[in-house]
Structure 1
Amino acid sequence: MNTSPSPRIIRMHPADNVAIVVNDGGLKPGAAPGDGPVLVEAVPQGHKVALVDLPAGSAVRRYNVVIGHTGVAIPAGGWVNEQRLVMPAARSLEGLPASNPPAELPPLTGHTFQGYRNADGSVGTRNLLAITTTVQCVAGVLDFAVERIRSELLPLYPNVDGVVGLEHTYGCGVAIDAPDAIIPIRTLRNISSNPNFGGEVMVLSLGCEKLQPERLLPPGSIPISDQRDSELDVVMLQDEAHVGFMSMIDSILRQARVHLERLNRRQRTTCPASDLVVGVQCGGSDAFSGVTANPAVGFATDLLVRAGATVMFSEVTEVRDGIDLLTTRAASPDVAEAMVREMAWYDAYLNKGRVDRSANTTPGNKKGGLSNIVEKAMGSIVKSGTGPIHGVIAPGEKVKQKGLIFAATPASDFICGTLQLAAGMNLHVFTTGRGTPYGLAECPVIKVATRDDLARRWHDLMDVNAGRIASGEASIEDVGCELFQLLLDVASGQKTWAERWKLHNALVLFNPAPVT
């Protein structure tokens, strides 16, 4: 008895001349999907099959967008992959469609979560003690101190969720006055005031570094809790009062107690969904990312924006090829101009390194069916939903408005997450098709799998299975609504898988300035 599933393919738009293979393990020659041609060769899962004969030089359309031209003739039922495609040139940043945004989405009321209200009006989804560092030299000392804080102090403060060392590789040996040095500096500055840290700012410094504490955190640069004075709390390791390693550790623990006492008095209160600042991102992407997980995230994005929340989508190289789609959605000409400005800045940045946007796609992306950055971009953009784009922020800046925001960041998972934390993110959504254990210590990360197989194999790493959309078990709307509710639950304290396993990636600063 043959119990194997029927051959299935997914076509994203009626004008497309390719479709992707749904079946686990792909399809063999002779397979006959009901809505496509008989396959003339094996096509792996997620990869594209030609729906019609494609002579050499033919435009290949997916999402009703030309993702490339055939370098060789491909017959109907043939495998369309990166070796057989020539990537088109990047869309010019001149002559882009003018701002013509869709109507604002209808309000969505009545949705709340249990969060920590801060003195500056922001809301944390976690109650964390964060220790900022001015330079990488102190990282080893901080690691030692953090372990002591976790084992000796945290049990005494049950309302504190954890302690986080904000370690990085910046602070000295750098051209601190170079124009682009402002990017890592403001990133660190703004991460220090992330809503999940409650306005309790503690700094660990070496003493001789270029990035001195007062330069990193000048007076008035960060909001503070309503329970402390305005003097910056700095432990400097080169202080003459420190005699021996343990005196340094004792100083860190002594100051940590002061902050933990205040953090422990905080309580969760009912907050409207409009207090959420959600970053959406994808990594380890595959061809299903733009079919299942990212559209579901886009649906949830629309719900969040309707509820008054802030949602940031990012990754410059992963939206660059859809810039014409984005300027049209800009809420104003100024927003469209800001998006173009960020794209142009990044084009120039890549050009300095003698690379272009094609360097983005990874071997795993290609193995998962994404032939090039154009195809990847079309699937990435859908995380932004369907509404107007209300604002743009440059790398390291803090978001200051509600609605849908383009946060201009590199596509690197770790750098993008770091910059979204600096922007004020208090909740993170991360989609993946190939699979990644990515997580952040500073903010809960909800992981969304694009495929049933990944969700099954990584059942204790993925929080949501969007693969049910491809298998026909759920709709985009079903999974989007499920994700929206999960966001509220996680914001209220429910732990994600990454939190349960304590899987945390390092902060990685975007530093386009010179190193001396």
Structure 2
Amino acid sequence: MPAASHVQRTGDEPRIIRLSETDNVAIVVNAFGLPPGTVFPDGLTLREFVPEGHKVALADIPEGGAVRRYGEVIGIALQEIPRGGWVEESRLRTPPAPPLDALPLATRVPAPLPPLDGYTFEGYRNPDGSVGTRNILAISTSVQCVAGTLDVALRRIREELLPRYPNVDGVVGLTHAYGCGVAINAPEAVIPIRTLQSLARNPNFGGEVMVVGLGCEKLVSERLLPDGQSDGVVRLQDERHHGFGAMLQSIMAMAEARLEVLNRRRRETCPAADLVVGLQCGGSDAFSGVTANPALGYAADLLVRAGATVLFSEVTEVRDAIHLLTPRAETEEVARALIREMAWYDAYLARGEADRSANPSPGNKTGGLNTIVEKALGSVAKSGTSAIRGVLAPGERVRQKGLIFAATPASDFVCGTLQLASGITLQVFSTGRGTPYGLAQAPVIKVATRTELSRRWSDLIDLDAGRIATGESTIEEMGWELFRLILDVASGRREPWSDHWGLYNDLTLFNPAPVT
């Protein structure tokens, strides 16, 4: 339906959102966009059609002039853009990234937020003191060669064993395309190996680690076992295996021994401080930094106030806002760790003859995001306002409470895998364009940036943050609603849609080491 007739028929008032008094652009709120000639209450008149979520110039912007959103420069005009004009991608160039050698270090450390006491969830406490939100048997693999065999074993475990162990939520395979045909001792090989080691120790798996290996791979299976554990490997090439059936029986016997242990676990009341929550966004649009991500940020502050651990990530969607984050670092050491991860990724992209302009994606641009700077400024809204207490290199396990930056690529699947390795037991995922994303290893709460998406994907979206843009809810109200939903999902009282459908993405390792 043409935008003009839609606006006229419904009587929608034309609406735009401006985020800062210094901004010279605002985004169109109306579904389906607004036609040329639309007049706003302040007299601003559209010179051309502007799609929903896209920017309109609030003042004449000269060629070479700065385009401002979030109070920051998100682009440089390649041509004059008149007041009321559409600020679209071809009219902008990306400004330079903030230099890393002149950033403020821990200069504006936020004061501690007031404690938030009395909030609990029902979780599974582990021998090491960590707490899971699920009770899952995870079976690691040391090499891709065994993935097909494990798939067959998993089907039989689900059909034959799981019905006898009703307190176990499920069984998952930690499969991947690594382990052989790689430069196992290359310096960057530490990242995929550390990721696999850390994945097996996720609190949702109860500490019951087992590995299926082949026997001739470069990544020796025992490297994936916790220190001090001497058993837990099924090696398919072992001479005791006479045929495929024997291999399956070995896997199932070891799995059953661990299912017996996991089946004795019960949920118990735990303080919210025991939660480890990951924050991620994917399929982002111009509303991400207006609705969903600020709501995630408010919920993140509530979690931190309750003593929990919150991870935010995605280096390429932080890099252009790093000047806003290093001042929030709790110490200069933490600020330098942030810079270390930005510099590492700059060098990684340069080695591949790529740069940050490869992000945003075409879908992001369709949703109104013109440059990686604009996307980054919306992305970091997920981090809330707390002091940043620590920084994790890719695949490192978290050992601190509070707000933590976990360095990952922006890819949804790689980021999700690395956050699981770092120890998240629940993830909150915001989306504007929509994505059928889910994790088998931890529940995922999907938050929509727009009400239109929430209605259209009503059986995939768990929370509609688009109500912030329409004025039906505030960021504070939505943040509290999300906080309570996190506690319910962590306790097993609410089931996210991805779990309802069994809609899960494969794990994807980040492997910057050479493949031989």
Partner secondary structure for residue 489 of structure 1: helix
Partner secondary structure for residue 256 of structure 1: helix
Per-residue CA shift, 1:152-209, capped at 9, x if unaligned? 1111111000000000010000000001101000100000000000010111011110
4+ runs deviating over 4 angstroms: none
The answer for the alignment partner of 2:408 in structure 1 is: 409
Q: How does 1:395-474 map to 2 (within 5 A)?
A: 395-474=394-473
Is residue 193 from structure 1 mapped to residue 201 from structure 2 by the alignment?
yes
Shift of 1:384: 0.2
The answer for the alignment partner of 1:208 in structure 2 is: 216
The 8 Å contact of residues 115 and 491 in structure 1, kept in 2 or not, is answered as yes
The answer for the alignment partner of 1:267 in structure 2 is: 266
The answer for the alignment partner of 2:187 in structure 1 is: 179
Give the distance between the partners of 2:206 and 2:43, measured in 1 at CA. Answer: 56
- CA 1:201–1:218 in 2, change beyond 3 Å: closer, same or farther? closer
Q: How does 1:115-514 map to 2 (within 5 A)?
A: 115-217=123-225, 219-220=227-228, 230-493=229-492, 494-514=494-514
The answer for the alignment partner of 1:99 in structure 2 is: 106
Shift of 1:90: 1.0
- CA 1:218–1:255 in 2, change beyond 3 Å: closer, same or farther? closer
The 8 Å contact of residues 9 and 36 in structure 1, kept in 2 or not, is answered as no
Give the distance between the partners of 1:347 and 1:244, measured in 2 at CA. Answer: 49
Shift of 1:215: 2.5
Shift of 1:98: 2.4
The answer for the alignment partner of 1:20 in structure 2 is: 27
Where do 5+ consecutive residues of structure 1 fail to align?
221-229
- CA 1:387–1:35 in 2, change beyond 3 Å: closer, same or farther? farther
Give the distance between the partners of 2:178 and 2:10, measured in 1 at CA. Answer: 57
Pick which of 89-98 and 296-305 moved more.
89-98
Give the distance between the partners of 2:137 and 2:180, measured in 1 at CA. Answer: 25
Give the distance between the partners of 1:195 and 1:203, measured in 2 at CA. Answer: 17
Shift of 1:36: 6.0
The 8 Å contact of residues 441 and 504 in structure 1, kept in 2 or not, is answered as yes
Partner secondary structure for residue 172 of structure 1: coil
The 8 Å contact of residues 210 and 225 in structure 2, kept in 1 or not, is answered as no
Is residue 83 from structure 1 mapped to residue 90 from structure 2 by the alignment?
yes
Partner secondary structure for residue 270 of structure 2: strand
The 8 Å contact of residues 9 and 35 in structure 1, kept in 2 or not, is answered as no
Question: Residue type matched to 1:102 in 2?
Answer: P
Question: Residue type matched to 1:77 in 2?
Answer: G
The 8 Å contact of residues 197 and 223 in structure 2, kept in 1 or not, is answered as no
Per-residue CA shift, 1:232-266, capped at 9, x if unaligned? 21111111111121111111111111111111110
Partner secondary structure for residue 100 of structure 2: coil
Is residue 32 from structure 1 mapped to residue 31 from structure 2 by the alignment?
no
The answer for the alignment partner of 1:53 in structure 2 is: 60
Give the distance between the partners of 1:171 and 1:135, measured in 2 at CA. Answer: 4
Shift of 1:3: 2.6
Give the distance between the partners of 1:132 and 1:35, measured in 2 at CA. Answer: 61
Equivalent pairs: percent with the same residue? 68
Question: Residue type matched to 1:166 in 2?
Answer: L
Per-residue CA shift, 1:416-472, capped at 9, x if unaligned? 111110101001000000000100010000000000110000000000000000011
Give the distance between the partners of 2:242 and 2:179, measured in 1 at CA. Answer: 24
Shift of 1:2: 4.1
The 8 Å contact of residues 305 and 403 in structure 1, kept in 2 or not, is answered as yes
Question: Residue type matched to 2:232 in 1?
Answer: D
TM norm structure 2:
0.97
Question: Residue type matched to 2:500 in 1?
Answer: R
Give the distance between the partners of 1:329 and 1:405, measured in 2 at CA. Answer: 12
Give the distance between the partners of 2:145 and 2:427, measured in 1 at CA. Answer: 29
Give the distance between the partners of 2:253 and 2:9, measured in 1 at CA. Answer: 69
Per-residue CA shift, 1:491-514, capped at 9, x if unaligned? 001211000100111111111110
Question: Residue type matched to 2:286 in 1?
Answer: A
Give the distance between the partners of 1:211 and 1:247, measured in 2 at CA. Answer: 23
Where do 5+ consecutive residues of structure 2 fail to align?
1-7
The 8 Å contact of residues 38 and 77 in structure 1, kept in 2 or not, is answered as yes
Output the aligned Cα RMSD.
1.0
Partner secondary structure for residue 390 of structure 1: strand
Give the distance between the partners of 1:315 and 1:144, measured in 2 at CA. Answer: 34
The 8 Å contact of residues 89 and 365 in structure 2, kept in 1 or not, is answered as yes
The 8 Å contact of residues 123 and 275 in structure 1, kept in 2 or not, is answered as yes
Q: What is the count of residue pairs matched by the alignment?
A: 507
Per-residue CA shift, 1:374-397, capped at 9, x if unaligned? 000000001000010000010010
Shift of 1:218: 5.8
Give the distance between the partners of 2:46 and 2:508, measured in 1 at CA. Answer: 45
Shift of 1:317: 0.6
Question: Residue type matched to 1:108 in 2?
Answer: L
Shift of 1:35: 4.4
Per-residue CA shift, 1:43-78, capped at 9, x if unaligned? 000000001111211110000000011101111111
Give the distance between the partners of 2:186 and 2:71, measured in 1 at CA. Answer: 43
Give the distance between the partners of 1:36 and 1:18, measured in 2 at CA. Answer: 15
The answer for the alignment partner of 2:118 in structure 1 is: 110
